Amino acid sequence: MTQLIFLPILFQACIAVLLLFFFGKVKIQKIISIAGSALNLAVAGGVFYVVRLEGSMAVQAGNWQAPFGITFVADTLAVTMVLLTAIVGFAVSIFSAYTLSGNRIRFGYFPVFHFLMMGLCGSFLTGDLFNMYVWFEITIITSFVLLTLGNEKEQLEGAVKYFAMNMLASLIFLTALGILYGLTGTLNMADLSGKLMAIENRGLVNVCALFFFFGFGIKAALFPMYFWLPDSYHTPPTAVTAVFAGLLTKVAVYALIRVFSLVFIPEAFFNNLFLIVGAFTILSGGIGSLVQNNIRKVFSYLIICHIGYMIIGLGLFTQAALAGMMFYLIHDIIIKTNLFLMSGMIIKIKGSTDIRQLGDIYNDHPRIALLFAISLFSVIGIPPLSGFWPKISLIWGGIEKSDYLSVGFILFGSFITLMAVARIWSKVFWKSSTVTAPPNAPLFFDQLSKRRRFWILFPVGFLSVVTLYIGFGADNIHLIASRIAEDLINVDAYIELVLGK
């Protein structure tokens, strides 16, 4: 039964290998990818259900006992992330099949996409820090390919920045692993948790923790290290950016959560560091989103802004704040993917990304505009929608710790988000459009066949329904988030599960 844990990883690997057999055959690849992603949704849902029902599970790959072998652990946090990955993967797979040019698919878009999904599932499920590094490398290498596939000048320019910063982050991560292994002789997270406490050289342990903070911080686009993100995320096709926006920065946030709750027991210094960095991340991301004119860059800055919430949640480290952080993470993965899919739709409809020229969407396509409104209002956090509930928990966490400054920043961040979204809404949806000669966009939305229009809209609709569920079914999501928060505070159960004491 516990072998189920491997299934999300292996299933993606199998899809990717199957796709490689049909390398260059566009139509078959589309079918395999969509069918595979739909099945994968069922697989991830099944694993999630089983873990919720029977509690966390751990398996030692290759049957070498922990801490010597590589452990895979499926606790509530990991399976939730895997399920979210599957949801995003399903939506993006359909969107890619109907919007990408045949050439990109011919040169291996889909196999690489599924290898990326495999890498993400792997980094969520592994219980070993070095193994996590390997999964991170897989996600980075595949994301390079996705970022540069198509060979446009703009793409390569963005990819250079992305490559340089992510390689630096990996290097820092690897250095930290080296120090950690030198200190304790193990890299199994559960084993480290106990052994690190016994080490007397606290200075070195803290330096090592800082290395982890910077390594993951670059990937998560935290305050001083975020500038690569808005410079590279607007260059590849929207389908690619949607995966990056939804999952790639969040996997680093996941790693931060895991490492700074399980391996390094949170100290006052790190909590304060997280609070300060989180506040500045909200500030810089929010202000950035207000001054940009490229619609995809506005959304890129909003990603940065909202990462700040989660980091503040991690810094507060109370039950309420952590539950709020987890709820926000769940909401954010779905909503950010959807925002970028929507920006892709807007580009398809109007053929421009410049919000000074865009407009008229509400006039021409009122129903589509309404669909977009669900996600846009959720981002702001209009009460019954999904962005609202996690903020309450976060603010409650701040009040519990009487950290009113952080509460202020959370409110300020919501306010800035409101302004940015209102600006998008009035300029892209209400204003009259001035897009002139259509640029070299392949096919405008209105000229597409009805069937194709439906399938391009379907992923956006699907993710909007998920968002609505997160908002209206907040009870269930909050239950999961609180459970995860409990697990993060009481790590003994995790350690016992892995080491079996």
Partner 1 sequence: MNSVILRTAASFLLPLLIMFSVFILLRGHYLPGGGFVGGLVAAVGFVLHMFANGLDETRRLLMIHPGYLLPCGLSLALLSGFTPVLITGEPFMTGVWLDDPVPVIGSIGTALFFDLGVYLVVVGVSLTILFTISEEVK
Place of tokens 């690489």: 112
The smaller minimum CB distance to partner 1, of residues 148 and 338, is found at 148
> What's the min distance (Å) between Cβ of 239 and partner 1?
23
> What's the min distance (Å) between Cβ of 70 and partner 1?
9
432 C-beta neighbours (distance < 10 Å), count: 7
> What's the min distance (Å) between Cβ of 468 and partner 1?
37
The smaller minimum CB distance to partner 1, of residues 63 and 440, is found at 63
Q: Are 114 and 33 in contact (CB under 8 A)?
A: yes
The smaller minimum CB distance to partner 1, of residues 33 and 292, is found at 33
Return the SS3 of 113. helix
> What's the min distance (Å) between Cβ of 81 and partner 1?
20
> What's the min distance (Å) between Cβ of 20 and partner 1?
4
The smaller minimum CB distance to partner 1, of residues 3 and 434, is found at 3
* H-run or E-run covering 61: strand 57-61
The smaller minimum CB distance to partner 1, of residues 49 and 64, is found at 64
Q: Are 31 and 21 in contact (CB under 8 A)?
A: no
> What's the min distance (Å) between Cβ of 72 and partner 1?
9
Burial of 497 (0-12, 13-18, 19+ CB in 10 A): buried
> What's the min distance (Å) between Cβ of 378 and partner 1?
38
The smaller minimum CB distance to partner 1, of residues 72 and 388, is found at 72
> What's the min distance (Å) between Cβ of 115 and partner 1?
10
Q: How many helices (H) and strands (E) does the chain have?
A: 22, 2
The smaller minimum CB distance to partner 1, of residues 36 and 390, is found at 36
The smaller minimum CB distance to partner 1, of residues 58 and 326, is found at 58
Residues that bind partner 1 (CB under 8 A): 2-3, 6, 10, 13-14, 17-18, 20-21, 23, 59-63
Cα 382 to Cα 132, 414, 493: the distances in Å are 37, 10, 37
Closest CA to 161 of 245, 225, 97, 75: 225
Phi, psi of 221 (to 5 degrees): 60, 55
> What's the min distance (Å) between Cβ of 244 and partner 1?
25
Q: Are 352 and 343 in contact (CB under 8 A)?
A: no
Helix pair angle (404-424, 366-380), 10° resolution: 170
Q: Give the angle subtended at the CA of 226 by the CAs of 245 and 344, to the nearest 5°.
A: 30
Q: Are 410 and 394 in contact (CB under 8 A)?
A: yes
The smaller minimum CB distance to partner 1, of residues 125 and 208, is found at 125
Closest CA to 221 of 305, 141, 154, 298: 305
Closest CA to 398 of 254, 270, 271, 213: 271
